[in-house]
Amino acid sequence: MSPAFPSSAGVPSRLRAGRAALALSFLLQGTTFALLVTCIPEIQHRYGLSDGLLPVFLAAVPILAGVGSITSEQLVKRTGARAVLRVVQPGLCLSLAGVGLGDELWQLAIALGAFGLLVGALDASMNMLGVGLQHRYGRSIMIGFHAAFSLGGILGAAVAGLGSHYDLGLPLLFGTAAAVIAPLAVLVGTRFAGPAELGDAVREAAEAAARSIPWRPLLPLCLAMAFAYIADASVSNYSVKYLTDGLGSPEDVAKLSYLGYMVAMLLGRALGDRAVQRWGAVPVVRGGAALAALGFAAAAAAPAAWAGIAGFTLLGFGICAIIPQVFAAGGRLFPADSDAAVARLNLFNYVGFLIGSPLVGAIADGSSYRWALLAPMVLVLAVLPLADRFAPAPAALAPAEA
């Protein structure tokens, strides 16, 4: 284990600067991702993409993200997480601009393919760098990075809403966003922590994540993670489209569905630790699953756009409680190999996105979006019987299980 610093006062200034830079990188990623997913109706209209073909294009993104993630892990071993991140984040901005500039399906396929590969590489390298920083700090700081991603999602959804309100069009909206975000990403990259600040922390974290641990104790948590990300993918890819196509909402108003969802995620993550400390992980996870299912039901039954936005906002408050607790529970199961447990659980992020988008899209194409939203609702309810697995293990049993 790398040397730990007990408090912020004992952390070197260059390490604090690296943490701030990485938080800004997460924020920029959240902004870029939100701009893409909230503009799915406009993308579909621009390229003449049918409802039947849309899930295919959306499913390709997480598949290629998985490829990009695996590839970046090999690149990180040779060049370092900082070097990979400095390249892929500006590249992701350029791929966003490419999505807005084309008008043929093959151009969309190339742009979305590049976006998927780069977002996977970005996700892997950012989290590797974050884990390395966490090792140096000696305490949990990863939740703050993901909160920054949520804040970026709020910003991106708001910008997309303004773009729709003023009818800017995708070339101008995505092109301008890329022109602003890409230079910021380059500037932020100059402040990332490197070998001088981290030493061998990233390598140590990667070696810890590669250790062999049994799958069986993790499987209930893997299922909970997949169900939570199926719900998340349903909102990311189809909340705006449901409001526009299903509820007849204007596009600028429809984008408030994802905005409300991300605001709820941010607030929930800010308050979630206190809730766990007061009531325990099991009640919080159960309450979150029930709240998320209620949010899906409210959105599916919504008579108008405002009710749909409220439903997706409620859903955000529910989901935000589940995902961090999956990682925490995995760490408690294997306290000596928590990095390995977290790495395995994180794979089901991609599983959830891979299943969620085609599932909702296929049901919507065959019936309606109201019925389609009931599928992730049922799956998120399946977290309820898994909630007991989030309880802290008895002290006497934890070493044996690990």
Residues 146-199 pLDDT 10s: 788 889 999 999 999 999 888 899 999 999 999 999 999 999 999 888 776 676
Q: What pLDDT is stored for residue 322 in this prediction? A: 85
The whole-number average pLDDT for the span 84-109 is 93
Instruction: Give dist(CA 351, CA 72) in Å, integer.
Output: 18
The whole-number average pLDDT for the span 292-313 is 94
Under a CB-based contact definition with an 8 Å cutoff, are residues 274 and 289 in contact?
A: no
| Of the candidates 304, 307, 296, the residue with the CA atom closest to the CA atom of residue 247 | 304
- pLDDT bucket at 25, cuts 50 / 70 / 90: very high
- pLDDT bucket at 9, cuts 50 / 70 / 90: low
pLDDT tens by residue, 322-336: 887 887 787 777 776
Residue keyed to tokens 């922590």 = 193
In sequence order, which residues have a C-beta less than 8 Å from that of residue 214 and are 6 or more positions away? none
Distances (CA, A) of 102 to 97, 168, 305: 9, 16, 30
The whole-number average pLDDT for the span 130-141 is 74
**127 vs 182, residue with greater confidence:** 182
**142 vs 284, residue with greater confidence:** 284
- SS3 track for 103-164: CCHHHHHHHHHHHHHHHHHHHHHHHHHHHHHHHHHCCCCHHHHHHHHHHHHHHHHHHHHHHH
The whole-number average pLDDT for the span 32-43 is 92
Under a CB-based contact definition with an 8 Å cutoff, are residues 340 and 333 in contact?
A: no
- pLDDT bucket at 103, cuts 50 / 70 / 90: confident
Out of 16-30, 115-129, 190-204, least confident range:
190-204
In sequence order, which residues have a C-beta less than 8 Å from that of residue 232 and are 6 or more positions away? 319, 323, 352, 353, 356
What percent of the chain is predicted at pLDDT more than 70? 88
Whether the pTM exceeds 0.75: the reply is: yes
**114 vs 201, residue with greater confidence:** 114
Q: What pLDDT is stored for residue 290 in this prediction? A: 94
Under a CB-based contact definition with an 8 Å cutoff, are residues 391 and 282 in contact?
A: yes
Q: Cα 375 vs. chain centroid, distance in angstroms?
A: 20
- pLDDT bucket at 10, cuts 50 / 70 / 90: low
**377 vs 50, residue with greater confidence:** 377
Instruction: Kindly state the DSSP code that residue 211 receives in the 8-state scheme.
Output: S
- pLDDT bucket at 398, cuts 50 / 70 / 90: very low
